Amino acid sequence: MKIYLLLFCVLPFSGFGQSDVLELKKNGANQKVYSPGMSLTMETIYQQWLEGTITAIRNDSVFLNGLPFHYKEIARIRSERKKFNYTTDGTILLIAGGGVLLLGAVNGLYRGDPIRDWYKPSGFITAGAFIALGLLMRNAAYKKYTLGKKYTLEYLALGANKK
C-alpha cells in the first residue's frame, strides 16, 4: 500500500518545481516579478516591440509565445496602467474638446454672427484644456521601464536546473 501511495502521489510531484522568474528592480528594490503565464510587452535591444505571453523562463531565456530571447536582450518593458481607463477617458476628452469648438461654430451659424465672433476666449481655453488633457491621458496609459541605471532586470533560477 505504501508503494502505491509513493508511486501515484509523491513521485509525480517530484519532477515539477518552481519555474525561473524575472525580477524588475528599481534602484535595487523589487518592482515586479514576471513568471510563465504572464503577459509581457517588451522592446528588444534591436528596437523591436514584442507582445505576448511568457510561455517559459529557463536557461537565462524568456520564451515569449514560444520564441526564446535572452533576458539581456530586453531593453525596455512596457506595462499598462490599470487603475483608470486612460485610453478611453483620453479619447472622450479629445471628443469633448472638439465638441466645444463645434458647438461654438454651430451657435455662431445659428445666430448669424460673423465668423470672428463665434468663439470667445473661454471657449478656446476650455477646448484647449480638454484636448491637452486628453492627449496627456492617452500618452500616460502605459508605463515604460527602460533598463539601465535606474531599472534592472534580474534572472532568478528557482527551477530544478539551477546554475
**Cα(59)–Cα(82) distance, rounded to whole angstroms?**
32
pTM tops 0.85, yes or no: no
pLDDT for residue 10: 52
Confidence check: pLDDT of 142 > 70? yes
Query: Each residue of 24-55: pLDDT tens digit?
Result: 898 888 888 888 888 888 888 898 888 999 99
**Cα(63)–Cα(76) distance, rounded to whole angstroms?**
16
**Cα(110)–Cα(112) distance, rounded to whole angstroms?**
5
**Which residues are bridge partners to 29 per DSSP?**
26
- SS (HEC) of 93-152: HHHHHHHHHHHHHHHHHHHCCCHHHCCCHHHHHHHHHHHHHHHHHHHCCEEEEEECCCEE
Q: 19 versus 35: which is more confidently predicted?
A: 35
**Cα(111)–Cα(106) distance, rounded to whole angstroms?**
9
Q: Give the SS3 label for residue 21.
A: strand
Backbone angles phi, psi at 45, to 5 degrees: -70, -10
State the cell numbers at 125: 481655453
Query: Dihedral, CA atoms, 133, 138, 139, 144, nearest 10 degrees?
Result: 140
**Cα(61)–Cα(64) distance, rounded to whole angstroms?**
9
Please report, for the chain, the start and end positions of each structural domain, with discontinuous segments joined by +.
Answer: 14-79+143-156, 86-139
Mean pLDDT of 79-103: 82
